[in-house]
Amino acid sequence: MIGTGGGARSRHVTSIGIDLGMPTGVLAQLRIIDALGNAHLLGTLLAPQGVVAIPPEILGHMLPFFINSAPGVICNGDPPFSIWEHTPRFGRIPPHRTDAGTFLLAECYGCATHTLIKDVDGLYDADPKVNPNAAFIKEITVSELRARNLPTLPFDRVMIDLLANARQLKQFQIINGLRPELLESTSARLFERTNRPDVATRNGARLVCTIRIGDPVRIQETIAYGTLMMTVGLVLSLPRLSMGRHIGPGAVAAVGVLVLLTTTSVALRFGIL
């Protein structure tokens, strides 16, 4: 599945829209139109190979069908927020662009990987196009990436939060699209995993980032919630015990089921199960 962006043309249109005073939602809609045009172009070029381009109107309903019946699917990579796009804290540039849109799509359908094709090799501490001495960041966790607040990123900054909250997606990778020979070698290694689950690391000319679903913080929260519910159950039972009443097996089983269901729901909420 390939999600297209508008590229330099979208950035140009966004710049013009900002100069004209257009709000974030209108800028997002303009970017969607640009990305859709590229999806149609790429779909036409790959049509002889049986690849299909799906319009946004039927993407959510027909995507599973086309994935199973065609060798490849192309769609607009921008999320369909349009005029409902979230207003950024600073400026008016839409925060959810092609990177975020394709990530959300991959997360929704449980894709194994998410690959971003860029014009750089990966993550640097500065823009390598502006600063030739920019250092390549060989390994960094998502939390460290957020803490460093790098001035430039090769992907949408909102991706940091999306990755931290991922449930299905295990990793994402960045490869340099200006080096076509990397595409085949990278796709052959899609299912590789790093030793550290929430680490972004360099492997050849790509950046691989994975998110650990069951991190210690979420496990601790789940244990805390489960312990709390069991404590509540015991407290509710104390009045009956103090009155000398016998608590039957049915009541005990009901409390046990309540604790089990609560703990399970909390575990699902925090991505443990």
State residue 172's pLDDT score.
Answer: 81
Please tell me the number of Cα atoms within 13 Å of 153 on its side-chain side: 15
E strand or H helix that includes residue 203: strand 199-203
The residue behind tokens 């909102």 is: 158
How does strand 206-210 pair with strand 171-176? antiparallel
What proportion of the chain, given as a percentage, has pLDDT over 70?
Answer: 67
Which pLDDT does position 22 carry in this prediction? Answer: 96
Tell me the C-alpha distance between 86 and 138, whole Å.
32
The whole-number pLDDT of residue 232 equals 61
Amino acid identity of 22?
M
**Would you state the structure tokens that stand for residue 22, as one six-digit string?**
């257009």
Confidence of residue 224 (pLDDT cuts 50, 70, 90): low
Q: What is the CA radius of gyration of the chain?
A: 24
Q: State mean pLDDT over 71-83.
A: 92
Where do the domains of the chain lie, and which CATH numbers do they carry?
2-210 (3.40.1160.10), 216-269 (no CATH)
Q: How many CA atoms lie within 13 A of 80 on its CB side?
A: 10
Q: In sequence order, which residues have a C-beta less than 8 Å from that of residue 114 and are 6 or more positions away?
A: 102, 103, 106, 169, 171, 172, 173
Q: What is the pLDDT of residue 218?
A: 47
- Chain segment 22-48, per-residue pLDDT in tens: 999 999 999 999 999 999 999 999 999
What is the spatial distance between Cα 139 and Cα 87, in angstroms, rounded to a whole number? 32
- The answer on pLDDT for 129 being more than 50 is yes
Q: Residue 93: which of 85, 104, 101, 81 has the closest Cα?
A: 85
Q: Are 117 and 175 in contact (CB under 8 A)?
A: yes
Strands (E), 14-61: 52-53
